[in-house]
Amino acid sequence: MRGINRPGGSLGRTQCCNCALRTWGDESITDDVVKSWLVRLYVRNGWLDIGRKRPVPHEAWFQVAGYFYYFGHYYAALSLEQLPTSEQRPYQHMLARLMLDRQEKNGAWWDYPLYDYHDAYGTAFAIMTLQRCLPKG
């Protein structure tokens, strides 16, 4: 049970796994599972945030790497879209708040110093997440 495989270390990665499994028909990934992991991502976000912007991957608690941050939130937003539209709003608010609170002074978002394109990929993930936080209809 290495830290990276425990709930605190898997917050960002579990989102994409749940999304993929549900997309491919795994009936064990119910609406309640999606909702539970969206709440966990919000409530336990500090675990991911501790790893954000660190130059060495997996040096943070639970072996979280900075590049899990916006990746995980993007897939959380995709999972959110798998819920009925009438049940999405509270989770949209949570994800939007996390994204907006982390925007840099220059307007970009970044989580890991990746060559010279960390602003571009971080901003792309954040914008794609925010786009899914807009109310439907």
Q: State pLDDT tens for residues 80-102.
A: 999 999 999 999 999 999 999 99
The reported pLDDT for the residue numbered 117 is: 79
The reported pLDDT for the residue numbered 8 is: 79
Q: Which residue has the higher pLDDT, 7 or 67?
A: 67
The reported pLDDT for the residue numbered 137 is: 67
Domains of the chain, by residue range, sit at: 3-131
Distances from the Cα of 56 to the Cα of 10, 50, 90, 103, 112, angstroms? 18, 12, 34, 22, 9
CB-based contact 114:121 (threshold 8 Å): yes
The reported pLDDT for the residue numbered 71 is: 94
The reported pLDDT for the residue numbered 90 is: 97
Amino acid, res. 129: T
* Mean pLDDT value of segment 44-66: 89
The reported pLDDT for the residue numbered 25 is: 97
